[in-house]
Amino acid sequence: MVEKRTSSDGAAGGGPGAPEDVADRVELRRIQLGLSPDELAHRAQMSLSYLRELASLHGDFDPEGLTRLANALDMTSVELLHGRADPPPGQPGAAAHPRLRRLTEHECWDRLDTHGVGRLGLRGDTAPVVVPVNYLVDGLSVVYRSEPGSVPAVDAGTSLSFEADHLDEARMSGWSVLLTGTAEHITDPGATGALADRAGSRPWAGGSRPLWIRLLPEQISGRVIDTH
């Protein structure tokens, strides 16, 4: 049987969704997994013709078949029928009269505030690498902590970029700030101790992460989408 879950508004999530939405989700997820239609049908233990009929919700609603299809796609039945409860941000349409404006340097630091989660950009072996990090704003610099040997644990003097942003989907607005500069290791025990005592210094990923790195910015820029 199809799983019965309760959404955030208390409604049951077990009924069939719109046929075109279900078919789109099946096709998109199949492509993400790198499966051919035949391979997906084999994983779901059904014929290709039945897979197509089931994905379009034509004929009688078959909860057992949809459960097998969801399992083959590494999804829950609720996700297949109704979509993810936590979709990626920025999916609603744009506001009626959006306006893109550049932020001043002061506004950029004001948006970054004291701490949060941002994205660190650095050179990889074959392509640029972007990883999320918890960060603190310390003066006019960004600091983060890492584990030696990990991707963010770059050598002192390494060129880095850092980006943080925020979206307000209700107002269809948002901002982003980008810093570029070089890495500096913070080794003074007094400095690292003071940083560790600050709110927001504990990484979400856990662990000791004793290496503190400061991004010394050479450039900072930002943009905001206003709706009025």
Q: What distance lies between CA 208 and its chain's CA centroid?
A: 24
Q: Which of 23-27, 32-36, 169-173 has the lowest mean pLDDT?
A: 169-173
pLDDT of 15 > 60? The answer is no
The more confident residue out of 51 and 138 is: 138
The more confident residue out of 141 and 32 is: 141
d(CA 182, CA 160): 6
Residue 97 near residue 109 (C-beta atoms within 8 A):
no
Residue 214 near residue 141 (C-beta atoms within 8 A):
yes
1 closest CA partner among 71, 72, 62, 74: 62
Residues of the chain with CATH 1.10.260.40: 19-82
d(CA 60, CA 47): 16
Residue 80 near residue 63 (C-beta atoms within 8 A):
no
CB count in 10 Å sphere of residue 53: 16
Alpha helices in 104-165 (DSSP H): 105-112
The more confident residue out of 227 and 30 is: 30
pLDDT of 8 > 60? The answer is no
Average pLDDT for residues 63-70, to the nearest whole number? 88
76 closest CA partner among 118, 13, 153, 137: 13
Q: Does domain 19-82 have CATH number 3.20.20.210?
A: no
The more confident residue out of 228 and 198 is: 198
Residue 79 near residue 69 (C-beta atoms within 8 A):
no
What's the confidence (pLDDT) of residue 82?
A: 82
Query: What phi, psi does 36 have (nearest 5°)?
Result: -80, 160
Residues of the chain with CATH 2.30.110.10: 99-226
Pick the CATH number of 99-226 from 2.40.340.10, 2.60.40.10, 2.30.110.10, 3.40.30.10: 2.30.110.10
What is the pLDDT confidence band of residue 138, given thresholds at 50, 70 and 90?
Answer: very high
pLDDT of 142 > 70? The answer is yes
For 19, half-sphere exposure in the C-beta direction (CA atoms, 13 angstrom radius) is 9
Record the tokens describing residue 107, joined without a space: 């506004």
pLDDT of 36 > 60? The answer is yes
The more confident residue out of 5 and 191 is: 191
pLDDT of 93 > 70? The answer is no
Residues 156-215: pLDDT tens digits? 999 999 999 988 766 678 899 999 999 999 999 999 999 999 998 988 888 889 999 999
Query: 25-39, 56-70, 90-104 — which one is most confidently predicted on average?
Result: 25-39
